[in-house]
């Protein structure tokens, strides 16, 4: 009733009232130890002291802990919304908006569920009934809460203000490799999976197998911390937590598994994959030389790929020596005089000149040996495993997890980030290692039996190093998580 304006606020702001209602304030019960963790003071308080204050007890048990309390909250709200006779003109409207928030955070019991859904459906579908739109939104929030578990982070002041003004969505920026920007409409209960699906649809990918190969990453602290989002995470939960850590955080959309064949019909899909693969190719991570020698055929293939890169930038003139040194990996560029590279690239530029930039990118992807996807898949899986290990190691003394990611904003340096940083030697975070291929999904391309053999050796070395670091982390885990 305070939130609806029918009861004195007693000095509490809207934010404080909503936080208390959702049970997301100061205290979290730690029943096995019979203590309460005070998140603000960062200390554990004996439960007996908390029981001495009924006000504190409400903070720790209000509707978030017990199903019956959640059902009671729903029933009280429905009672206030039914035949509301308040003298406050916006009382009923504010009540519906509070129900909208509650349905996004907490599920009711299975006993109450059919009655609550029936009430919401009747309110949204009855001809001439007021508040049809928000009643339908409440129904959608409740159904999503039963599927994904409900949001866990309270709405910040900006989000709450928007909801009270009747705005339930925002345009959120997601960054593709190469600095390509895409804005997605994010609602109160939008989860990462929905964003991935929408971006994949834009790239012409509609099958479940294709969609499962993509993920969203949260990048904070100027690229020092990176983590993949769980597909069931709420974007606005991630946003609220990330903003508290780094206001310049951003969200990246990447391909992380390469089992599906490349498709060249959609320009956005081709540009995204081209920009993700290109940095690894230019570092020489997608080339293997037989006994360290380059054959004439390989020289021509490398020159053709350099010409395609040049045309992909919409250039039609002959590339300079400096430009060729950027297109070709340094170890390969040194294999013959620079002027010889210019001569060979000039010949291929005559062939690729009629192509559009999109066609040049598509041809470039088609000429990269198909074995690369196996190595890319391995690199991405190792990256995810190392990231998960790092998250466990960096857990605080209270066992808390690292901050969630969220709906991001463009970082000033986002345009020049070509690949995500990966875990460094320390358990506490990630190093921004420009030469590491795991995050970009790269490896060594096997173009011969010898190449395949070295690929297996490389994979074994990477896996052995990871297992060693993971075991070291596990040995330290008890003392790290000890309270």
Strand partners, 225: 220
Q: Are 250 and 209 in contact (CB under 8 A)?
A: no
pLDDT at 233 over 60: yes
For the segment 403-424, the average pLDDT, to the nearest whole number, is 35
Q: What is the pLDDT of residue 282?
A: 93
Instruction: Give the SS3 label for residue 173.
Output: strand
Q: What is the pLDDT of residue 481?
A: 36
Q: Tokens for 374, please give them.
A: 């196996």
- Of the pLDDT bands very low, low, confident and very high (cuts 50, 70, 90), residue 5 is very low
Q: What is the pLDDT of residue 155?
A: 86
For the segment 225-229, the average pLDDT, to the nearest whole number, is 94
Strand partners, 290: 293
Query: Residues of the chain with pLDDT > 90: what percent?
Result: 45
Of 390 and 226, the structure prediction assigns the larger pLDDT to: 226
pLDDT at 298 over 80: yes
- Please report how the helices 14-22 and 157-164 are oriented relative to each other, as an axis angle in degrees rounded to 10: 100
Q: What is the pLDDT of residue 215?
A: 96
pLDDT at 306 over 90: yes
179 CB-near residues (< 8 Å, 6+ apart): 414, 415, 416, 417
Q: Are 151 and 182 in contact (CB under 8 A)?
A: no
- Of the pLDDT bands very low, low, confident and very high (cuts 50, 70, 90), residue 364 is very high
pLDDT at 181 over 50: yes
CA–CA dist 155, 164 (Å, integer): 11
CA–CA dist 90, 80 (Å, integer): 12
The Cα angle at residue 422 between residues 420 and 427, in degrees rounded to 5: 145
Q: Are 240 and 195 in contact (CB under 8 A)?
A: no
- Please report how the helices 192-202 and 235-245 are oriented relative to each other, as an axis angle in degrees rounded to 10: 100
322 CB-near residues (< 8 Å, 6+ apart): none
pLDDT at 479 over 50: no
Q: In this structure, how many other beta carbons lie within 10 angstroms of the beta carbon of residue 266?
A: 14
pLDDT at 26 over 80: no
Q: In this structure, how many other beta carbons lie within 10 angstroms of the beta carbon of residue 51?
A: 12
Q: What are phi and psi of 219, to 5 degrees?
A: -120, 120
Q: Tokens for 382, please give them.
A: 């190792």
Instruction: Give the SS3 label for residue 354.
Output: coil
CB-side neighbour CA atoms (13 Å) of 134: 21
pLDDT in tens, 70-95: 898 899 889 888 877 776 767 888 88
For the segment 418-424, the average pLDDT, to the nearest whole number, is 33
User: The dihedral of CA 273, 275, 279, 284: what is its sign?
Assistant: positive
Q: What is the pLDDT of residue 369?
A: 58
User: The dihedral of CA 370, 436, 233, 148: what is its sign?
Assistant: positive
Q: What is the pLDDT of residue 461?
A: 53
For the segment 37-48, the average pLDDT, to the nearest whole number, is 42
Least reliable range by pLDDT among 147-161, 166-180, 377-391 = 377-391
For the segment 154-163, the average pLDDT, to the nearest whole number, is 85
* Domains of the chain, start order: 19-165 (1.25.40.530), 170-255 (3.10.20.90), 283-373 (no CATH)
pLDDT at 54 over 50: no
pLDDT at 113 over 90: yes
Q: What is the pLDDT of residue 160?
A: 83
Q: What is the pLDDT of residue 93?
A: 86
Q: What is the pLDDT of residue 260?
A: 87
Residue 150 backbone class (left: φ over 0; alpha: ψ -120 to 50; beta: rest): left
Q: How far is CA 269 from the centre of its chain?
A: 19
Tell me what the pLDDT averaged over the chain comes to: 73
Least reliable range by pLDDT among 147-156, 236-245, 399-408 = 399-408
Least reliable range by pLDDT among 130-144, 162-176, 242-256, 448-462 = 448-462
Instruction: Give the SS3 label for residue 464.
Output: helix
CA–CA dist 441, 383 (Å, integer): 9
CA–CA dist 73, 26 (Å, integer): 20
For the segment 204-224, the average pLDDT, to the nearest whole number, is 94
10 CB-near residues (< 8 Å, 6+ apart): 2
For the segment 383-412, the average pLDDT, to the nearest whole number, is 41
Q: What is the pLDDT of residue 413?
A: 34
Q: Are 424 and 431 in contact (CB under 8 A)?
A: yes
Residue 166 backbone class (left: φ over 0; alpha: ψ -120 to 50; beta: rest): left
């Amino acid at each position: 009733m305070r939130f609806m304006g029918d009861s004195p606020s007693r000095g509490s702001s809207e934010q404080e009232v909503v936080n208390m209602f959702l049970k997301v304030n100061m205290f979290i019960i730690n029943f096995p130890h019979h203590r309460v963790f005070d998140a603000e003071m960062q200390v554990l308080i004996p439960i007996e002291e908390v029981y001495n204050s009924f006000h504190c007890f409400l903070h720790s048990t209000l509707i978030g802990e017990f199903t019956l309390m959640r059902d009671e909250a729903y029933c009280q709200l429905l009672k206030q919304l039914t035949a509301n006779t308040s003298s406050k003109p916006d009382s009923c409207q504010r009540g519906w908006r509070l129900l909208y928030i509650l349905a996004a955070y907490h599920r009711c019991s299975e006993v109450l569920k059919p009655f609550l859904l029936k009430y919401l459906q009747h309110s949204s579908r009855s001809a001439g009934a007021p508040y049809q739109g928000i009643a339908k939104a409440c129904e959608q929030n409740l159904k999503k809460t039963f599927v994904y578990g409900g949001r866990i982070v309270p709405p910040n002041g900006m989000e709450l203000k928007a909801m009270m003004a009747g705005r339930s969505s925002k345009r959120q920026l997601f960054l593709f490799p190469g600095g390509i920007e895409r804005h997605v409409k994010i609602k109160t209960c939008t989860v990462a999976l929905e964003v991935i699906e929408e971006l994949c649809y834009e790239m012409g990918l509609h099958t479940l197998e294709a969609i499962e190969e993509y993920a969203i990453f949260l990048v904070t602290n100027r690229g020092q911390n990176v983590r993949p989002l769980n597909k069931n995470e709420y974007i606005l939960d991630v946003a609220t937590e990330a903003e508290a850590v780094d206001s310049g955080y951003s969200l990246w959309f990447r391909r992380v598994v390469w089992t599906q064949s490349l498709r060249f019909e959609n320009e956005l899909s081709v540009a995204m994959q081209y920009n993700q693969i290109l940095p690894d190719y230019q570092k020489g991570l997608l080339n293997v030389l037989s006994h360290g020698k380059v054959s004439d055929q390989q020289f021509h293939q490398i020159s053709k790929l350099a010409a395609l890169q040049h045309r992909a930038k919409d250039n039609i003139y002959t590339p300079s020596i400096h430009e060729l040194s950027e297109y070709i990996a340094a170890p390969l560029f040194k294999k013959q005089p620079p002027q010889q590279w210019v001569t060979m690239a000039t010949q291929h530029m005559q062939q690729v000149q009629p192509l559009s930039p999109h066609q040049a990118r598509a041809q470039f992807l088609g000429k990269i040996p198909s074995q690369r996807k196996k190595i890319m898949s391995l690199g991405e899986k190792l990256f995810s495993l190392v990231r998960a290990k790092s998250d466990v190691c960096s857990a605080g003394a209270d066992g808390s997890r690292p901050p969630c990611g969220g709906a991001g904003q463009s970082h000033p340096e986002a345009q020049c980030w070509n690949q995500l940083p990966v875990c460094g030697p320390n358990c506490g975070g990630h190093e921004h290692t420009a030469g590491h291929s795991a995050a970009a999904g790269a490896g060594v391309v096997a173009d011969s039996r010898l190449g395949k053999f070295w690929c297996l050796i490389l994979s074994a070395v990477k896996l052995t190093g990871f297992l060693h670091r993971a075991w070291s982390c596990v040995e330290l885990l008890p003392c790290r998580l000890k309270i």
